Amino acid sequence: MRGEVVDGRLVRTPNGSTLSLDEVDLLPPCEPTKLVCVGRNYAAHADELGNQVPTEPLLFLKPPSAVIATGEPIEYPSYSKLLNYEGELAIVVGTRCRNVSATHARAVIAGYTAMNDVTARDVQRADDQWTRGKAFDASAPLGPWLATELDPRDSMVRTWVNGELRQDGSTRDLVFRVEHLIAYVSRVMTLEPGDVIATGTPSGVGELKVGDEVEVEIGRIGRLRNTVEPAPTGTVLDERDGQ
């Protein structure tokens, strides 16, 4: 059931009833057909990893299976030994669109949310492309909800691990801003309602271990909270496959 979050404490349902956040399980704020992520979109983050700032947005994709909600576990992939957090502002598309101009970009945005671009850093560095390091299951926590009033030009981007502040940035420092990213990505591919554009992470990325709690906060949206667990082992089948 969809509802409206009021003051970060209550959920107002479509039938007019009101519930506290403790009474509901929050789902991801959107159902994307794809997540388009932007790498090295903060100069300080590019510098901390020893990379140059790109002259055009550096894009990569995450699949829908990467999406989890606040409160769900991040899965530490068995093939990695260095997992990183990356707190980011995420744009949620509201209208099917293609070839949108920067001038009209705001009209196709449904709202904004927080995202953690969880990354297997050792695998990302070892491979010639980023699929294994970025696109594994449960690598894109989104939430806690969709915000429609956020100012993407000047919003804080903060990440905590086990209560310790690790990232403290601002969207003021984006290399390529929201409108430019909408225009750039929509020239490459059609964007569908619910699709996500993750705008990149500020400096301060670091390691996650099994058992850690990681929180990402964007502006006044609220905190996206997830813990890290080992990825499931063995064969995972759909229930219908066992019948």
**pLDDT per position as a tens digit, 138-184:** 999 999 999 998 999 999 999 999 999 999 999 999 999 999 999 99
Containing 120, the helix (H) or strand (E) segment is strand 119-120
Parent domain of 161: 26-230
Relative to beta strand 74-76, strand 67-68 is unpaired
Provide, rounded to the nearest whole percent, the portion of the chain with pLDDT above 90.
80
In a domain, 4, yes or no: no
CATH, residue 211: 3.90.850.10
Cα–Cα nearest to 9, from 159, 173, 188, 145: 145
Place of tokens 């915000």: 147
Asked if residue 102 lies in contact with residue 167, where contact means CB atoms within 8 angstroms, the answer is no
The residue behind tokens 């000047």 is: 154
DSSP-derived letter for residue 25 is P
CA–CA dist 63, 75 (Å, integer)? 15
pLDDT tens for residues 24-65?
789 999 999 999 999 999 999 989 989 898 999 999 999 999
Domain annotation covers residue 19: no
In a domain, 6, yes or no: no
Number of domains in the chain: 1
Token representation of residue 166 = 């690790």
Which two structure tokens, joined as six digits, stand for 35? 């997540």
Position 10 in a domain: no
- Answer yes or no: is 98 within a domain: yes
In which band, very low, low, confident or very high, does the pLDDT at 219 lie, cut at 50, 70 and 90? very high
Q: Quick check: is 144 in a domain?
A: yes
For residue 21, is it within any domain?
Answer: no
Identify whether 235 is part of a domain: no
